[in-house]
Amino acid sequence: MTATTTQPARPVDGHRLAGLLLRQDVLLLGVLAIMVAFFTVLNPVFFSTFAFANILQDWAPVMLLAIGQTFVVITGGIDLSVGSNLGLCGVACALVMRALTEGGNGTAVTIAAGVVAALVTGMLVGLVNGLLITRVGLAPFIATLATMGAGAGLTLVVTGGVQIAGGPVKVIELGNTQYGSLLTLPLIVVLVVLAVTWMVLGLTRFGRWTYAIGSNSFAARGAGIGVNAHLVKVYLLSGLLAGVGGLFIYFRLGSGSPTSGQGQELAAIAAAVIGGTSLFGGSGRMSGTVLGALITTSVLSGLILIGVAPNWQQVVIGALIAAAVGVQQVNLRSGRGSGRG
């Protein structure tokens, strides 16, 4: 009779476990759970369906801009124009819809024309950004700073600083009818856009080329990637998503506001960076960006519900950005990136 020997349990790979725990999206899940528990203890309303529905409405436009920002930052660039672009797109949509409504056109034609106007406007701004960077040779920060100022100024010029209403009454109905106490039609569109862009980043050649350019643009050129053409496409995507964001705001409010995009570029950058997208380019996860946007928009709602001045939101977001960049530095020193996909 032979004796059986038991193999000792293999020790847990400490480095692998540490790497998992330091993943930005894993950390953010913990931060989100702690934040929800904190605000719920102080005000149970925070954990209600009503509060979550409001958070989702604030999250959606930030998420759209943050998706575009994630692609841009992964390439090693930045897009400061998305906030003013969102406002400009919303105003373009409002002006077209008002003109067609006053001209007696049908609701379907009017809404379709307004949607096209917003998307085309957003893509034009994105195209200008891409060409300034790839053809003129401006740094992304300078190029998008210029279009940020130009877009904000143009929005004020065409509106006179006032909101543009007068579109079809159907817009408010489409934008605010709730399904299941949480979702609206525009929010469903945002979720579909998120799912598609998530797959594009993680599963397609477009996503792989985006990472490759951010990791080493010289090597990407040597591998046959058309870097300049790809960068133009990335900024076009960012502009297109700003257009969708402008539409979301318009359908929610029923008017185009020249100030609707103010500060949104910072919220989008914060969501991407907090989510683990490296400012040095080459790495980032859409899952992290989703959580980053959810955290930054939940903070404001939580502060309001517990009676704290909303201005403290910027302090909290600033602390989160500092912590996120600190984790990125730790990962870089230890040879770990935030990952891809």
Q: Which residues of 137-174 are buried (b: 16+ CB within 10 A; e: fewer)?
A: ebebeebbbbbbeebbebbbeebeeebbeebbeebeeb
Q: Which of 123, 149, 151 is nearest to 234 (CA)?
A: 123
DSSP letter for each residue of 43-80: -GGGGSHHHHHHHHHHHHHHHHHHHHHHHHHHTT---T
Q: Check residue 1 and give its pLDDT.
A: 46
Looking at per-residue pLDDT, the higher value among 120 and 304 belongs to: 120
Q: How do residues 220-240 score in pLDDT, each as one tens digit?
A: 999 999 999 999 999 999 999
Q: Check residue 15 and give its pLDDT.
A: 58
Q: Which residues of 290-314 are buried (b: 16+ CB within 10 A; e: fewer)?
A: bbbbbbbbbbbbbbbbeeeeeeebe
CB-based contacts of 119: which residues, under 8 Å, 6+ apart?
89, 240, 243, 244, 247
- Rounded average pLDDT over 268-289: 88
Q: Check residue 212 and give its pLDDT.
A: 95
Q: How do residues 250-262 score in pLDDT, each as one tens digit?
A: 999 988 888 888 8
Looking at per-residue pLDDT, the higher value among 341 and 297 belongs to: 297
Domains identified in the chain and CATH numbers: 40-328 (1.10.3470)
Asked whether 230 and 76 are in contact (CB, 8 A), the reply is: no
CB-based contacts of 10: which residues, under 8 Å, 6+ apart?
none
Asked whether 79 and 140 are in contact (CB, 8 A), the reply is: yes
Q: Check residue 2 and give its pLDDT.
A: 47
CA gyration radius for the chain?
22
Q: Check residue 211 and give its pLDDT.
A: 95
CA 324, 327, 333, 335 dihedral sign is negative
Looking at per-residue pLDDT, the higher value among 338 and 4 belongs to: 338
Distance CA 159, CA 175 (A): 22
- Rounded average pLDDT over 154-175: 89
The pTM for the full model equals 0.88
In this model, does residue 7 exceed pLDDT 60?
no
Looking at per-residue pLDDT, the higher value among 312 and 8 belongs to: 312
Q: Check residue 14 and give its pLDDT.
A: 59
Distance CA 83, CA 267 (A): 9
Q: Check residue 281 and give its pLDDT.
A: 86
Tell me the percentage of the chain whose pLDDT exceeds 70: 88
Q: Check residue 32 and give its pLDDT.
A: 85
